[in-house]
Amino acid sequence: MKRFPLAALIAAFFIFLLWTVSVRQALLFGVGIGLGATLAGARFGFTTGWRQLIENRDPKGVTGQVLLLGLAALLAMPLLAAYPELTAALGPPSISLLLGAFVFGLTMQIADGCGSGTLYKAGLGIPLNMGILPLFALGSFLGSVHLGDWLSLGQIEPVGLVDLWGAEKALAATLVGLAVALLAVRWWVGSGKAWLDRRWVWGAVILALLATLNLLIAGQPWGVVYGFGLWAAKAAHAAQVFDPTGNMFWSQEGNAQILTQTVLLDVTSITNIGILAGALWISANASGATKPLTKQQWLIGLGAGFLLGYSSRLAFGCNVGAMLSGVSTGSLHGWIWIPLAFAGTLVGVRVRRHFRF
Amino acid sequence: MTAQTNTPLPPEPVNRSTLTALKVLFWVALIGFLSWDWVVSPTIDLRNEPPVIAAGSGQAPTGGHCSMAK
């Protein structure tokens, strides 16, 4: 489909939301479109950036991601301090976080996409990612169903640096942490490498601005995984194979309420739909060429997609909810997530190579 | 006599019509799910809208987030 009729359809859905759901949801759909168009247009892949660093000692993708985290933190932390009604992405440091982040980092290399990557690549029409999306949703749902059992293995209360130290100190600590990460990258890649690439830089700047808009409008940071789990939970509840009243996660007042209403009222779902739409709009002018996969690669890729969803719930977010939103809003769990997911990725790139993806 | 190898044949490229069919299937499934959800869910109370901008509204956000344990 060409871009103009697509833009007309997307505009019609925007007006539908504005008229029948709420102004806030229409605005968040618009933010989602921007996120999807930027992710797809800049090919801003968290997964690819890490893989290029490991396999090619190419730091450009990771530098773009560090820039994104730093800019998002610069914008988000003062807002969190100024507006008490805004919330940070606070996940509990726990056994489930350690395991979930490791498995997520491993499987995202096989599935060739994290949370946002799976969304925008599905929007672009890449067959494996379109196939992964429903399995990601199923995994995310089952992860949320089992979350109480995983948390019983050990957890501490979430730690928010802005609450603990105030915005200035939290921001300083975050920027120092990101600088240390860049020093580690410099040690790994050696001298004489190009560090910046235009598409990673403009992608980082726009994504940071849109993530901040999401925080201002929704009152909470950008997330992806919750929406997927909610969609599968609604389907399972409707099919009478799942009773939320007996479940630790879904019986909580907020989640139980969200489960009874349309997903168009859920902030994460609406930005997810926007990301798909934004990437679809970008794909209208693309060639559509995709790398063919064998049956074995399909099976392994789809299995990895299911595990992506499951592990992202255990890890309290994916690259967006835990890494970007966690770090930029001062959550300790984001800083724990990164090294564990990177360790998983070290294994994942080898598995990926073994199966010739 | 030529040596036999166990190298598997490369997979066939996805042709354009198959790719288009997959994309259509994906979007039909998504729109179908959203339509079903819209039909079975309670009507939205438009007089009880959330604030357009949460910052400065004084109201706590009501959405779920993947970082939440509860």
> What is residue B6's predicted lDDT score, i.e. its pLDDT?
61
**Closest approach of A58 to chain B, Cα-based (Å):** 29
In the predicted model, what is the mean pLDDT of residues B12-37? 90
Chain A residues 201-220 within an 8 A CB cutoff of chain B: 215-220
Closest CA to A318 of A305, A309, A327, A329: A309
User: Which H or E run includes A196?
Assistant: none
> pLDDT tens digits, residue range A151-197?
999 999 999 999 999 999 999 999 999 999 999 999 999 999 999 99
What is the structure's pLDDT at B18? 86
For residues A235-265, one letter each, b for 16 or more C-beta atoms within 10 angstroms of the residue's C-beta and e for the rest, the string is bbbeeeebebeebbbbebeebeebbebbbbb
Instruction: Please tell me if residue B31 touches chain A, with a CB cutoff of 8 Å.
Output: no
The reply to whether A284 touches chain B by the CB within 8 Å rule is no
Q: Which residues of A touch B38 (CB under 8 A)?
A: 262, 264
Does residue B9 sit at the A interface (CB-CB below 8 Å)?
no
Give the tokens for residue A249.
Answer: 């996660």
The CA R_g of chain B, rounded to the nearest whole Å, is 25
Establish how many alpha carbons lie within 13 A of residue B15's alpha carbon, considering only the half-sphere containing its beta carbon: 2
Q: Which tokens go with A291?
A: 């790398």
pLDDT, tens digit only, all 357 positions of chain A? 788 999 999 999 999 999 999 999 999 999 999 999 999 999 999 999 999 999 999 999 999 999 999 999 999 999 999 999 999 999 999 999 999 999 999 999 999 999 999 999 999 999 999 999 999 999 999 999 999 999 999 999 999 999 999 999 999 999 999 999 999 999 999 999 999 999 999 999 999 999 999 999 999 999 999 999 999 999 999 999 999 999 999 999 999 999 999 999 999 999 999 999 999 999 987 766 678 899 999 999 999 999 999 999 999 999 999 999 999 999 999 999 999 999 999 999 999 999 988
Q: How confident is the model at residue B4 (pLDDT cuts 50, 70, 90)?
A: low
pLDDT of residue A158: 97
Tokens linked to A200? 């990673």
Q: Do A23 and B67 touch (CB under 8 A)?
A: no
Q: DSSP of A23-76, one letter per residue?
A: HHHHHHHHHHHHHHHHHHHTT--HHHHHHHHHHH---HHHHHHHHHHHHHHHHH
Q: Do B11 and A293 touch (CB under 8 A)?
A: yes
pTM confidence score: 0.94
Does the CB of A260 have a partner CB in chain B at under 8 Å?
A: yes
For residue B19, the chain A residues in CB contact (below 8 A) are 125, 127, 288, 290
B16: nearest CA partner in chain A? A288
Residue to test with chain B: of A2, A75, A94, A130, most B Cβ within 10 A: A130
Band of residue B2 on the pLDDT scale cut at 50, 70, 90: very low
The reply to whether residue A216 touches residue B54, judged by beta carbons under 8 angstroms, is: yes
Between CA A297 and CA A300 the distance in angstroms is 5
Q: For all residues of chain A together, what is the average pLDDT?
A: 96
Q: What is the pLDDT of residue A43?
A: 93
Q: Would you call A24 an interface residue with chain B, using a CB distance cutoff of 8 Å?
A: yes
The nearest CA of chain A is from the CA of B2 a distance in Å of 26
Cβ <8 Å between B66 and A122? no
Cα angle at A20 between A223 and A221, to 5 degrees?
15
What is the distance between the alpha carbons of residues A136 and A304, in angstroms, rounded to a whole number?
Answer: 9
Q: How close, in Å, is residue A212 to chain B by CA atoms? A: 11
Query: Amino acid identity, residue B24?
Result: V
Under the banding of pLDDT at 50, 70 and 90, the label for residue B14 is: confident
Termini Cα distance of chain B: 68
Q: Which amino acid is at B6?
A: N
d(CA A132, CA A178): 31
Contact A223 B29 (CB under 8 A): no
* pLDDT of amino acid B1: 44
Of A248, A264, A290, the CB nearest to B14: A290
Residues in B closer than 8 angstroms to A133, CB to CB, are 26
Q: What are phi and psi of B54, to 5 degrees?
A: -65, -40
Say whether pLDDT at B59 is over 60. yes
